[in-house]
């Protein structure tokens, strides 16, 4: 997993819960990296999973909710890092529909070894989109957070329903309707 996901995560934890919480969840987790992350490095996904679990345990907030908040924060990071890519879109539905065929293609150019989820479009109209999310990471709520922020970015809102196709969340259907 790309280092920026870790550094941004820990920054957000520090922001919301203080440096003690950061220190605590690092200490509670068994981390090969010893909690030393840099945005240009690459680290095991299992480390992120442990950090999330321990944060959830310490704060009584579900992992899904933590991911949602984190994703909303992460969208602003993307906006700062890749403004040109986002500027090529005029509409949130268009942007979300092209995750697979455009955005991930661009990501692979910069990070050839990135392990990306797939977003296959089932149905698309001007104001609605149905996609299947597939990833062994089961981070669909991270996706949801990014989607929420995408609509916000284009000054729009949407109702997004998540239907789990697999119980463990590795395959999920997103039904998006623009309001």
Partner 1 sequence: MSQIQIDILQRALNREKAARKQSEKILEDKSLQLFNATQELKEANEKLELLLEEKTSQLQGVFENINDAYLIMDLEGNALKMNDAAIELFGYDLKTERFNVVNLIYKPDANYAFKSFKELRKKGFFTDYTARIITKSKAVKWVQINASLIYDKSKQAIAAQGIIRDITETRRTSELIKEQKIELEKSNDELQEYAHIVSHDLKSPLRSINALVSWIKEDNSGKLDAASLQNFELIETTLEKMEQLISGILLYSSIGSESVKKEKTNLNMLLEDVKQILFIPEHISIKILNELPVVYGDKVKLQQLFQNLISNAIKFNDKEKGLIEIDVQEEKSFYQFSIKDNGIGIDKKYHDKIFKIFHSLNKTKESTGIGLSIVKKIVDLFKGEIWIESEPNIGTTFYFTLKK
Tell me which residues touch partner 1 (CB under 8 A). 7, 19-20, 22-23, 26, 34-41
C-alpha to C-alpha distance for 20 and 104, rounded to whole angstroms = 36
Closest distance between partner 1 and the C-beta of residue 177, in Å?
42
Find residue 42's DSSP bridge partners: 2
Q: How far is the CB of 34 from partner 1 (least distance, A)?
A: 7
Comparison of 6 and 74: residue with beta carbon closer to partner 1: 6
Q: Which is nearer to partner 1, 6 or 174 (CB)?
A: 6
Reduce the DSSP state of residue 139 to 3 states and report it: coil
Nearest residue (CB) to partner 1, 36 versus 161 = 36
User: What is the spatial distance between Cα 158 and Cα 140, in angstroms, rounded to a whole number?
Assistant: 17
Q: Which of 149, 172, 147 is nearest to 162 (CA)?
A: 172
Q: Write out the two tokens for 69.
A: 């908040």
Nearer to partner 1, 36 or 122 (CB): 36
- Look up residue 138 and give its DSSP letter: -
Taking the complex as a whole, how short is the minimal distance between the CB of residue 10 and partner 1, in angstroms? 9
Q: Which is nearer to partner 1, 43 or 89 (CB)?
A: 43
- Minimum CB separation of residue 35 from partner 1 in Å reads 6
Q: Are 131 and 122 in contact (CB under 8 A)?
A: yes
Q: Measured from the CB of residue 137, what is the shortest distance to partner 1 in angstroms?
A: 23
Strands of the sheet containing 158-164, edge to edge, are 118-124, 128-134, 171-178, 158-164
């Amino acid at each position: 997993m790309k280092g920026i996901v870790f550094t941004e995560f820990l920054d957000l934890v520090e922001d919301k819960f203080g440096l003690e919480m950061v220190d605590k969840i690092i200490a509670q987790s068994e981390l090969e990296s010893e909690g030393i992350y840099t945005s240009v490095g690459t680290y095991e996904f299992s480390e992120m999973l442990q950090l999330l679990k321990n944060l959830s345990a310490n704060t009584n907030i579900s992992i899904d909710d933590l991911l949602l908040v984190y994703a909303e924060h992460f969208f602003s990071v993307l906006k700062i890092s890749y403004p040109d890519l986002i500027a090529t879109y005029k509409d949130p539905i268009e942007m979300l529909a092209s995750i697979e065929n455009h955005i991930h293609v661009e990501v692979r150019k910069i990070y050839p070894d990135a392990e990306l989820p797939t977003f296959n479009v089932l149905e698309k109209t001007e104001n609605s989109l149905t996609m299947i999310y597939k990833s062994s990471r089961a981070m669909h709520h991270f996706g949801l957070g990014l989607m929420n922020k995408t609509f916000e970015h284009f000054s729009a809102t949407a109702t997004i329903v998540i239907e789990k196709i697999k119980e463990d969340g590795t395959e999920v259907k997103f039904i998006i309707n623009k309001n």
